[in-house]
């Protein structure tokens, strides 16, 4: 998820009154809902769920504790408890996001009984019942207990204790519960007691409850419906992170409140139940209707937070292997297992565990690992201890995936989740403000594992492509997210969910990599070992991590830092953005300044005065130099000076381990250009990549002239690394610079300039495609870069690219078994249609109609919009709005056509006669989106007026106001791009 937006708005008094009325109505509705969700009828201890019938669940397993004996109803002991909302109650701890530290949970006896049956999959709603006994230690005397519970019906609430060690349950006392109520906003259940619990004593909270199984979202306990072996099937799985355990059972749902868990799952006999730990035993029970159910119990977990509690109930098969004496099982649909789709994941999971065990010298503590492939899992993957969960598209490898980047993607995600077994599971952050300690380090070690499995893949280029590039593109000084947040910044649970974003994962990983870069690998790993060992089965904060790094530094003398690790790293993790580091090679002066989008730093209100303590690893004329530090806004480094008359050159940020961009003065850029033209291979690949990426980013944001970035491309005839070409093309051949600015000079100039330089790299990869495409299957960087190379070559009219497109498309049409290579499939399909007739288009439509794979259907839908014939595109749009919606699912064909070269004009005319049908088919908002797509090239106020007049009958009043503002933004952007495009065209004329 991206960062939250921050914007304000103004409302009139009348609107305010209306909003106030709506708010009051909403509060009333919430009160009614809360009453429905929060009822808690008090029953005798022996009566469970349904008034004491045989459908009730048995006592949870664990330390062989017996249930309390059945007592006769005694109003002095068990007063009637009715749930209330807490409406009108004074301000109290239930208004705070964090639980009061009155109770410390030690152990959960959790039992769940979802009523899933294989012959009742069409039931409109599915629910579960359960009960939990929570052993707690009282830390502060209190007659009021708070724990988390959301959308659960409480059916019994008791407090037993104080517990007497060494005596039977019959001697255990009982603390009467006076009232149970719910504070919905902070998702609490509140138990009001007749007498206070005593500090230092142990108590047991006994709660029976029921709740819904979610079908439309993957949180809490949720349902997947899927097809397997030709039949419709279902499974249940859990997703507790970050705050969804409270949707499944009442609990102390904070990461620092670790406890042990004994889990029991009651399920239909045809299903298998999985949880964090191995199965302890099974028994059988009957419900009132005589149906038999299986009761599966599991061994006690280690101490862990509630967000790692996991279970699945499924009708799956598995493959297994043993790694260092511990069983690993990959669970998936029976079809997938039979066809070997889980084999790749099985083969890398064990070695990944072993690699990280050896790296940290800490054994994985659980006796087994189950890995399950879910048909649909919104969170992609989850690291639950002992039961890792994945969306099946990110775990299963099919035979036709050999020529995709899928192997590396699966390896990355599997290694990420396995990395969490140490970072997150063994050592957990104390609170969500430091979630980067989990996600950042798990992401960092992805590239380590990939390089372990495939030593030919460079860790530097992999890290840049997968992690660093994306976050540098999004991060800037005014963004509202630092990696490590202050705890007081959190007031609501939804703010916790928003932390799972690019900054936590990618910037967090970049922080770890920078730390490793300015230390050395051995010191870095040694400090992490110490940290993991010290906080095993416990919790840590960012300062704990820094303390262990400082200890490692203090124990040696080779590495000397300008400040403590805490001071250095806090300058990066506690503030947003990153610096631009600029070297003047004539003077040796290095300065830093915050990076701003479009370099708006001079605007009065946009100030960012902080600096970073910047580690600068660097090379001079190909030789690695000693680490230096920029610990102030500017500093002189005489050793970095070069003369216009020598052949020296300097590059800062060795291997791009530092989280910053680098700029140079004119002489610095000139010297690098000269070296690239004389001998580009003297500059390592990662730095050719860095120079291109930094220069184009800095020019786009007004730090340097565009001509400076373009000068770096002159040498490209000698560049055979496709990842470097990819960086050039995604920055230079863009729609907004070439096609949306109505600058008709730039296309032929760009075509002529690039043709001279593309030949070498084009010949390499076109030959591989024609002769031995299988050679690409382990070349991850090529697989992610090929599409842009082929797309650009065909776009610029390179005849060999067009001919290859014809060949591959025709070969596939005539012999469907000859698949188009996946990396260039989208390009080939598009040009197969663009260069063909209605015959090819009809063929593709028939393939689309009979295809069931969503990803392939989207590819085909886009390809059909590549036709150059207006009548075909009109037919396509007409077909989309007149046929069954299920034909095209949610794909908006009108938008796809409007985005194409010819379709921009055809779609506009089509809307004149069909806008009502389009609105009915795709919704009124689609008309607004279409307006933006059709108007993507506007650059004058007159064009805005014309477009608004054209769309005016189709839009509602509030949409017209929004549209006008958006069109002005598009116009301003295009004016800027038009100026940039003109400068590029002028440069091309001079250099072609």
CA distance 781 to 769: 15
CA distance 100 to 91: 14
Strands 427-429 and 538-540: parallel
Burial of 762 (0-12, 13-18, 19+ CB in 10 A): buried
Location of structure tokens 């630092």: 482
Query: Which residues 6+ apart lie within 8 Å of 736 measured at CB?
Result: 973, 974, 977
Location of structure tokens 């014309």: 946
Give the residue from 399, 400, 398, 380 showing the smallest Cα distance to 389.
380
Give the residue from 571, 574, 497, 719 showing the smallest Cα distance to 2.
497
Query: Around Cβ 517, how many Cβ atoms within 10 Å?
Result: 20
From residue 604, how far is each of 123, 600, 601, 607, 703 by CA, in Å?
61, 9, 8, 7, 18
How many CA atoms are closer than 13 Å to the CA of 354, on its beta-carbon side? 14
Catalytic residue of the set 109, 158, 405, 417: 417
514 backbone dihedrals φ, ψ, rounded to 5° = -65, -40
The DSSP code for 396 is: -
The DSSP code for 214 is: B
Number of residues assigned to the chain: 992
> N- to C-terminal Cα distance for the chain?
43
Q: Is 521 known as a binding-site position?
A: no
Query: Where do runs of H (alpha helix) occur along 11-123?
Result: 13-37
Query: Around Cβ 599, how many Cβ atoms within 10 Å?
Result: 16
Burial of 574 (0-12, 13-18, 19+ CB in 10 A): middle
* Cβ contact 247:220 at 8 Å: yes
Token digits of residue 575: 């503030």
* Cβ contact 318:329 at 8 Å: yes
Q: Is 647 known as a binding-site position?
A: no
The strand pairing partners of 31, in sequence order, are: none
Query: Around Cβ 405, how many Cβ atoms within 10 Å?
Result: 18
Location of structure tokens 């009809």: 842
CA distance 380 to 154: 32
Q: Is 416 known as a binding-site position?
A: yes
Specify the 3-state DSSP secondary structure of 684. coil
Give the residue from 297, 274, 260 showing the smallest Cα distance to 386.
274
From residue 594, how far is each of 468, 605, 669, 693 by CA, in Å?
18, 15, 21, 18
CA distance 587 to 219: 58
Whether the bond between 624 and the residue before it is cis, its omega within 30 degrees of 0, is: no
Specify the 3-state DSSP secondary structure of 147. strand
From residue 202, how far is each of 137, 138, 139, 250, 578 by CA, in Å?
5, 6, 10, 18, 49
CA distance 914 to 929: 16
Token digits of residue 157: 């609430």
Is 705 catalytic? The answer is no
Rounded to 10 degrees, what is the CA torsion of 512, 514, 516, 520?
A: -170
CA distance 809 to 819: 9
Token digits of residue 500: 């799972």
Query: Around Cβ 456, how many Cβ atoms within 10 Å?
Result: 8
Burial of 122 (0-12, 13-18, 19+ CB in 10 A): exposed
Sequence ranges of the binding site for Zn(2+): 416, 420, 439
Sequence ranges of the binding site: 416, 420, 439
Catalytic residues, by residue number, are: 417
């Amino acid at each position: 998820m991206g960062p939250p937006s921050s914007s304000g708005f103004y409302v009139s008094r009348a609107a305010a009154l209306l909003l106030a009325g709506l708010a009051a109505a909403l509060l009333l509705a919430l009160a009614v809902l809360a009453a429905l969700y929060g009822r808690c009828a008090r029953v005798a201890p022996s009566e469970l769920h349904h008034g004491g019938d045989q459908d009730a669940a048995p006592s949870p397993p664990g330390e062989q504790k017996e249930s309390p004996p059945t007592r006769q109803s005694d109003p002095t002991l068990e007063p009637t408890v009715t749930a209330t909302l807490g409406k009108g109650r004074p301000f109290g701890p239930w208004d705070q996001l964090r639980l009061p530290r009155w109770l410390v949970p030690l152990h959960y006896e959790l039992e769940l009984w979802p009523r899933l049956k294989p012959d009742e999959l069409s039931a409109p709603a599915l629910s579960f019942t359960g009960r939990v006994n929570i052993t707690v230690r009282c830390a502060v005397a209190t007659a009021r207990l708070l724990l988390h519970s959301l959308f659960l019906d409480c059916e019994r609430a008791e407090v037993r204790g104080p517990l007497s060690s060494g005596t039977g349950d019959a001697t255990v006392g009982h603390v009467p519960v006076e009232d149970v109520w719910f504070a919905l906003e902070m998702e609490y259940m509140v138990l009001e007691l007749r007498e206070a619990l005593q500090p230092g004593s142990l108590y047991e909270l006994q709660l029976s409850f029921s709740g819904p199984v979610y079908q439309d979202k993957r949180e809490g306990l949720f349902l997947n419906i899927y097809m397997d072996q030709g039949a419709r099937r279902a499974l249940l799985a859990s997703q507790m992170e970050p705050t969804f355990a409270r949707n499944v059972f009442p609990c102390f749902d904070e990461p620092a409140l670790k406890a042990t868990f004994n889990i029991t799952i009651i399920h239909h006999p045809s299903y298998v139940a999985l949880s964090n730990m191995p199965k302890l035993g099974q028994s059988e029970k009957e419900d009132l209707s005589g149906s038999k159910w299986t009761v599966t119990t599991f061994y006690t977990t280690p101490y862990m937070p509630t967000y790692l509690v996991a279970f699945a109930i499924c009708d799956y098969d598995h493959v297994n292997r043993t790694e260092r004496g511990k069983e690993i099982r990959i669970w998936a649909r029976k079809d997938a297992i039979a066809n070997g789709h889980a084999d790749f994941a099985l083969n890398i999971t064990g070695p990944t565990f072993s690699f990280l065990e050896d790296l940290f010298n800490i054994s994985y503590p659980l006796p087994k690992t189950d890995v399950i492939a879910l048909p649909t899992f919104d969170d992609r993957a989850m690291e639950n201890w002992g039961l890792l969960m994945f969306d099946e598209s990110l775990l299963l490898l099919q035979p036709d995936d050999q020529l995709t980047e899928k192997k590396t993607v699966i390896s990355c995600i599997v290694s990420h989740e396995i990395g969490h077994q140490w970072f997150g599971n063994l050592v957990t952050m104390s609170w969500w403000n430091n979630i980067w300690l989990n996600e950042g380090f798990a992401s960092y070690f992805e590239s380590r594992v990939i390089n372990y499995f495939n030593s030919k893949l460079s860790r530097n280029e992999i890290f840049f492509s997968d992690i660093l590039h994306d976050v540098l593109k999004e991060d800037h000084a005014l963004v509202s997210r630092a990696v490590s947040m202050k705890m007081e910044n959190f007031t609501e649970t939804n703010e916790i969910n928003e932390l799972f974003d690019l900054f936590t994962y990618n910037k967090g990983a970049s922080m770890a990599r920078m730390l490793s870069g300015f230390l050395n690998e051995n010191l870095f790993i040694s400090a992490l070992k110490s940290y993991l060992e010290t906080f095993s089965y416990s919790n840590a904060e960012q300062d704990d991590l820094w303390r262990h790094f400082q200890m490692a530094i203090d124990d040696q003398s080779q590495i000397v830092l300008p400040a403590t690790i805490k001071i250095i790293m806090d300058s990066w993790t506690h503030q947003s953005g990153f610096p631009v580091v600029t070297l003047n090679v004539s003077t040796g002066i290095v300065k830093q300044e915050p990076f701003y989008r479009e370099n708006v730093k001079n605007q009065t209100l946009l100030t960012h005065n902080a600096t970073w303590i910047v580690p600068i690893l660097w090379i001079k004329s190909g030789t690695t130099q000693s680490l230096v530090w920029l610990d102030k806004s500017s500093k002189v480094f005489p050793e970095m000076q070069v003369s216009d008359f020598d052949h020296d050159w300097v590059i800062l940020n060795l291997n791009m381990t530092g989280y910053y961009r680098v700029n140079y003065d004119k002489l610095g850029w000139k010297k690098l250009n000269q070296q690239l033209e004389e001998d580009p291979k003297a500059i390592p690949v990662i730095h050719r990549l860095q120079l291109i990426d930094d220069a184009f980013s800095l020019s786009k944001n007004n730090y340097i002239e565009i001509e400076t970035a373009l000068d770096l491309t002159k040498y490209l005839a000698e560049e055979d690394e496709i990842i470097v070409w990819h960086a050039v093309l995604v920055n230079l051949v863009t729609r907004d610079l070439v096609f949306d600015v109505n600058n008709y000079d730039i296309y032929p100039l760009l075509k002529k300039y690039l043709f001279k330089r593309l030949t070498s790299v084009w010949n390499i990869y076109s030959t591989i495609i024609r002769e031995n495409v299988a050679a690409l299957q382990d070349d991850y960087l090529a697989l992610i870069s090929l599409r842009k190379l082929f797309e650009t070559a065909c776009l610029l009219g390179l005849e060999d690219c067009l001919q290859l497109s014809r060949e591959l498309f025709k070969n596939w049409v005539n012999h469907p078994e000859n698949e188009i290579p996946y990396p260039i499939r989208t390009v080939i399909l598009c040009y197969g249609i663009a260069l063909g007739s209605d015959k090819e288009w009809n063929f593709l439509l028939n393939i689309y109609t009979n295809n069931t794979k969503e990803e392939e259907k989207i590819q085909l839908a886009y390809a059909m919009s590549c036709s150059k014939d207006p009548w075909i595109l009109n037919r396509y749009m007409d077909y989309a709005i007149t046929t069954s919606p299920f034909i095209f699912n949610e794909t908006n064909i009108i938008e796809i056509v409007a985005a194409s070269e010819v379709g921009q004009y055809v779609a506009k005319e089509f809307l004149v006669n069909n806008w009502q049908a389009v609105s009915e088919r795709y919704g009124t908002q689609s008309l607004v989106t279409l307006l933006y797509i059709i108007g993507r090239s506007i650059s004058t106020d007159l064009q805005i007026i014309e477009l608004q007049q054209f769309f005016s009958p189709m839009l509602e009043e509030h949409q017209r106001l929004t549209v006008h503002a958006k069109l002005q933004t598009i116009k301003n952007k295009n004016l800027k791009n038009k100026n940039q495009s003109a400068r590029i065209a002028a440069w091309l004329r001079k250099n072609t």
